Amino acid sequence: MYTVFALASAQGRAGVSVIRISGHTAWTVAEHLCGALPEPRKSAVRFIRSQDGTVIDQALVLAFKGPHSFTGEDVVEFHVHGSISVVRAILAELSDQGSARLAEAGEFTRRALENGRLDLSQVEGLADLIDAETEAQRKQAVRVLTGSLGDKVEIWRTKLIRAAALIEATIDFADEDVPVDVTPEVTSLLKDVSYDIESEIAGTHVAERIRSGFEVALVGAPNAGKSTLLNKLSGRDAAITSEIAGTTRDVIEVRMDLGGLPVTFLDTAGLRQSTDEIETMGIERAVARARDADLRVFLSKPSEKLLIDPVEDDIQLIPKVDLLPETDMGISGKTGQGIPELLEKIGAIFGKRVSGVGLATHERHRFAMQRALQDLDNSFDALLRGPEFYDITAQELRSAIRALETLVGRIDAENLLDEIFSSFCLGK
């Protein structure tokens, strides 16, 4: 496999930039620039020189011998001063050698997958960790990156292989007197795995929400103070406010970190019957987004009827409470009254939901587990129909095992890999 190199840290000026080289000739390529390398997994300061001997920079150099490296190959890293010109000059020298090429997006991580250093779920966990903006996202991504999901899948896979082996043995000795009935053990194995997969599937929605963000829709009639409240929450003029009804036509989004959870507040169009075609389109869009949101905050009086009804966990508050001195049971985007209590309540609702979060964080994970669960249901049905259907039981078990293997990338899925790695930067 061709030796590759790339800037592994962020583009642009920085205190330190990291240039990574990986491949079977990585050490030779690096030695052309800095001379003798330090011992594996140790660091040393070296001068980086051009082909004519001119010093480009002084760098901290680290060398890793495969398979004990991120990619599983021989790897060398140059930790150089983060000057744009320094990085450009070193990359040019590496390119001019002709024995290494610039890495493609995500190629280092893809090599780690192909060399068994990471499974596919860990790769996705790494991508999520790079994109993490909140504490909850970081913690979830680290759980996946450290292999927790892969470990769980391996337990399921081992149990299903055991069940399939028992069934296959019974089929092989169908014409002989087999004293042991394998049905009880196979039944127990299938029930254990099915229960675990069902539990994991139930937690995927929350896990996906932690990764992509919860949505909270502000719902109310025109001039209920939704845009003013959104601006107060965001600390800036994210939405236009006006006394003219129907000012908000489109859904305006503001993303926040709420107690470590990513939360997007949606300012929707005022809900009313309208003859204005554009406003009507905005209202229809508002109703659709509000229904799809994870939580709705209704800014309305208890007797007020809107185009959408509250459901469990939804919050209803009297708006513009600053104009109603006779009550303090509401909220005001103008003065900020009631906002701390609102945020605390939203945080408590979402905090309760994330208590049941699973390890599977992507829609792809859920689909793979759902396929495996369906195959397990089919195998269990065939098992209950008796020994004459054991061949069907075995086939369904093999299908379930393959579904789980796609979850961690054990079987070939080239198109899927291309899609996943396209989201990585060049240096990863």
pLDDT, average across residues 192-215: 89
| Cβ neighbourhood burial of 19 (10 Å; 0-12, 13-18, 19+) | buried
Give the model's pLDDT for residue 272: 62
Q: What pLDDT was estimated at residue 287?
A: 84
CA distance 343 to 322: 18
Percentage of the chain exceeding pLDDT 90: 41
**For 387-424, what is each residue's pLDDT tens digit?**
889 899 999 999 999 999 888 876 544 544 555 556 56
**Is 255 or 18 the better-scoring residue by pLDDT?**
18
Share of the chain above pLDDT 70, in %: 87
Are 38 and 12 in contact by the 8 Å Cβ rule? The answer is: no
pLDDT band at 245 (very low <50, low <70, confident <90, very high): very low
User: What's residue 244's pLDDT?
Assistant: 42
For residue 183, the one-letter residue type is T
Q: Over the stretch 120-178, which tens digit does the pLDDT of each residue have?
A: 889 889 989 988 888 988 989 998 898 889 899 999 999 999 898 888 888 766 555 55
pLDDT for the residue numbered 223: 78
Residue of higher predicted confidence among 76 and 284: 76
Tell me what pLDDT residue 324 has: 75
Longest dimension (CA), the chain: 88
pLDDT 10s digits, 21-51: 999 999 999 999 999 999 999 999 999 999 8
Q: What is the pLDDT of residue 335?
A: 85
| Beta-sheet strand order (sheet of 16-22) | 43-49, 55-64, 75-81, 16-22, 4-7, 101-102
**Helix 339-354 with 226-234: angle, nearest 10 deg:** 80
* Res 387: pLDDT: 84
- pLDDT at site 247: 45
Q: Which pLDDT band holds residue 322 (cuts at 50, 70, 90)? A: confident
pLDDT of residue 427: 63
Residue 247 or 69, more confident: 69
The pLDDT, as a whole number, for residue 325 is 66
CB-CB contact of 18 with 10 (8 Å): no
Q: Which residue has the higher pLDDT, 351 or 18?
A: 18
Q: What is the reported pLDDT for 174? A: 54
> Cα(79)–Cα(76) distance, rounded to whole angstroms?
10
Give me the residue label for tokens 């080239």.
Answer: 414
Question: Tell me: the pLDDT tens digits for 265-299?
Answer: 988 877 766 666 776 777 778 788 888 899 999 88
137 Rama class: left (phi>0) / alpha (psi -120 to 50) / beta: alpha
Residue 413 has what pLDDT?
Answer: 46
Express each pLDDT in 341-367 by its tens digit: 999 999 999 988 888 787 888 888 999
